[in-house]
Structure 1
């Protein structure tokens, strides 16, 4: 049963990741990977909110599997982030690569902490 929850979440997260990435990237005329940046930050926020809800007892293990492991696991992408950063370096856009690394890690952690903080306010 648990694996079905993960599969169901991933079935939503993977296409959502692709569509969101394309929608965001198409609005920017830049080599910076805005689409991947956006989905990773949103995924971190959702996972932080879910983690905070779980600590408060508002999210059970089934919801954690569905949204955390399935949805967020398929929505976010460390491999694409790494690949796009490497491509930026290879094409001579080293500054964009450095900004991508610093901004992605900082914004991702910030979004996760914000999600946990929001959950604490809502479910405390």
Structure 2
């Protein structure tokens, strides 16, 4: 099963990198907010909630859970980048943006995971 997690993680990390770059390039001129990581973590929370529901209700096999839930979503979402961007905002004196970033990330991530779990 570990190889499924590795394959899923590789795909999740690559997706995060490419999507984050794309989003940041599109909004960079308009935002001081770390939009790429924010969107990725919220969509990843939704996806993980959705996949977790499928797994908990036995609609998908354990191997698909390891591939998509543990591997892909685990690498697609990124707490370390979230932490780094938060301290970077604080270090740049953008305290208000950092507070908005942390608050909305945690709140909307939790709401998104819940919605994914319910759907």
TM-score if structure 2 supplies the norm length? Answer: 0.95
- Structure 1 unmatched runs, 5+: 119-124
Structure 1 SS opposite 2:59: coil
Q: Specify the alignment match of 1:14 in structure 2.
A: 13
> Which consecutive aligned stretches of 4+ in structure 1 deviate over 3 angstroms post-superposition?
none
The number of equivalent residue pairs is 117
Q: Deviations over 1:5-56 (max 9, x none)?
A: 0011012111100011011111112221000001111110110001111122
- Structure 2 unmatched runs, 5+: none
Aligned-residue offset at 1:63: 0.9
Q: Deviations over 1:59-111 (max 9, x none)?
A: 22111100011101110000100000000000011000000000000110011
* Mapped partners of 1:79, 1:15: distance in 2: 16
Q: What aligned pairs does 1:5-84 form with structure 2 within 5 A after superposition?
A: 5-28=4-27, 29=29, 30-84=31-85
Q: Specify the alignment match of 1:122 in structure 2.
A: none
Structure 2 SS opposite 1:26: helix
